[in-house]
Amino acid sequence: MELYLPIAILFIIGLGAGVVIIGLSAMLGPRNPQATKLTTYECGVTPEGSARIPFKSRFYLIAVLFLLFDVEAVFFFPWALVYRETIRMGDSGLLWAMLCYMAFLVLGLVYIYRKNVLELD
Q: What share of the chain in percent tops pLDDT 70? A: 85
Helix axes 76-88 and 58-74, enclosed angle (nearest 10): 20
Burial class of 88 by CB neighbour count within 10 A (0 to 12, 13 to 18, 19+): exposed
pTM score of the predicted model:
0.46
| Residue 47 and residue 40 in contact, taking contact as beta carbons nearer than 8 Å | yes
Helix, strand or coil, per DSSP, at residue 91 = coil
CA distance 55 to 109: 25
The mean-pLDDT minimum among 18-22, 57-61, 110-114 falls in 57-61
Q: Where are the alpha helices (DSSP H) in 1-121?
A: 5-28, 35-38, 58-74, 76-88, 93-114
Q: Where are the domains of the chain?
A: 56-114
Cβ atoms of 94 and 79 within 8 Å: the answer is yes
| Tens-place pLDDT, residues 26-73 | 999 888 877 777 766 666 667 677 767 777 777 777 888 888 888 887
